[in-house]
Amino acid sequence: MSIYIFIALLNGICIVISRTLNGKLAQQHNAFYSSLINHFVGFLFLTIMVLIFKIYLFNFNEIPLVAFIGGIIGAFFVIINSYVLPLLGVMLTSILAICGQMISSLVIDLVNGAHSQNVYLQLIGVVLIIGGVSIHFIRRTN
């Protein structure tokens, strides 16, 4: 189990580094350019990995069209992060993104009937994050 925790932490580090680099690129050009470069390089990397390891994971005929919405949302996510990060900073952008993830995942779990014993603790966590971000904005405006 600890290896999965380590991998999840490493994933978080990669996300912050990626956001920072995309934000810098967006400052030099624009958010759409940054997103294009991000996805083009990712496409090349995955293509090379598939060719090296000869991994053919899918048949396009078997994939429902709704599955491609994730790619559209991912591109939109990168564009938004590239645009917002230079304005808000890495930490605040990350906290707000995590807050949005927590709220939407909690709503999705509740709508899908995946009731947890810890719903109240999850709600308290969301409220604390929103409160912390609010305090940050209040201090910044005063």
Q: Once rounded to an integer, what is the mean pLDDT over residues 33-47?
A: 85
Q: Could you tell me which residues come within 8 angstroms of residue 136 by beta carbon, excluding any fewer than 6 positions away?
A: 92
Quick: pLDDT tens for 8-20: 888 888 888 888 8
User: How many whole angstroms separate alpha carbon 29 and alpha carbon 23?
Assistant: 10
pTM for this model (two decimals): 0.64
User: How many whole angstroms separate alpha carbon 73 and alpha carbon 106?
Assistant: 19
Q: Are 122 and 102 in contact (CB under 8 A)?
A: yes
Chain CA centroid to CA 59, Å: 27
Within 10 A of 19 (CB to CB), how many other CB atoms are there?
Answer: 20
Closest CA to 25 of 85, 70, 76: 85
Q: What percent of the chain has pLDDT over 70?
A: 89
Which token pair is 14? 């990669």
User: How many whole angstroms separate alpha carbon 95 and alpha carbon 88?
Assistant: 11
CA distances from 41 to 14, 33, 74, 117 (A): 15, 12, 14, 42
Does residue 141 have a pLDDT over 70?
no
Q: Which residue has the higher pLDDT, 83 or 116?
A: 83
Average pLDDT value for the chain: 81
